Amino acid sequence: MKRRNSQSIVKLLHIILITLGAWLLYFCFEGQILDYFNNKTYQAVYLSKDSYAKELNLSALEYDDIQKEYGAPESIVREQSPVNPDVMLICNEYPGVLVQYSEVTEFNGATTDYVCLVSITGKEFRFGPLRIGIGSSRMQVRIAYLLDQRIASDELMYSAKYFPSVDEGFYGDDWSRILFCYDDAGIVTSMAYEPPAF
């Protein structure tokens, strides 16, 4: 009887020690584990951020570079952010490209522009070795982005704020988003680059 009780106590102590050891390991390496899951240096396999910019004749996918290359937009739509009164949401339309950005008024009164989305609507733009663009099939897109992480459908709702008819997306450099809209036949009707959250 005493032997059974002592074996039970030893087993219970082993379970407690293993649990404490696992908890201590997690506690000690929590930052590294979270960094792994929130890796800000994710590298796209199919195409880098710079390659998207290069196809659009830009040095970078930033507001100043877009304004320099494309000049005055064909149309401008401005609206106040429903969430933050210090932010204007602006959409500039250029031939084959829509650029949506937020104009933020800083505490000192200066404004800063952040690109929220670059939408491609023109057939002249083709990206990467498989020349993905307007008119590509869903199958071509999936083959091109096969090794890039696909965005879960419930995660796409966050991109629908700026790109409402988004059907599919893949993560690009630094967790940016490459988004696609398809028609009923599975042909790309528009695509977009959404930079990582600023």
pLDDT, tens digit, 9 for 90 and up, residues 157-186: 888 888 888 999 999 998 999 999 999 999
- Which pTM does this prediction carry? 0.74
pLDDT, tens digit, 9 for 90 and up, residues 9-59: 777 777 887 777 666 666 655 544 444 455 567 889 999 888 999 999 998
C-alpha torsion sign, points 125, 184, 194, 72: positive
Looking from the CA of 66 toward its CB, the CA atoms found within 13 Å total 23
Instruction: Report the distance separating Cα 38 and Cα 117, nearest Å.
Output: 22
Q: Which residues contact 129 (CB under 8 A, 6 or more apart)?
A: 144
Backbone angles phi, psi at 171, to 5 degrees: -80, 135
Please compute Rg for the chain using Cα positions. 24
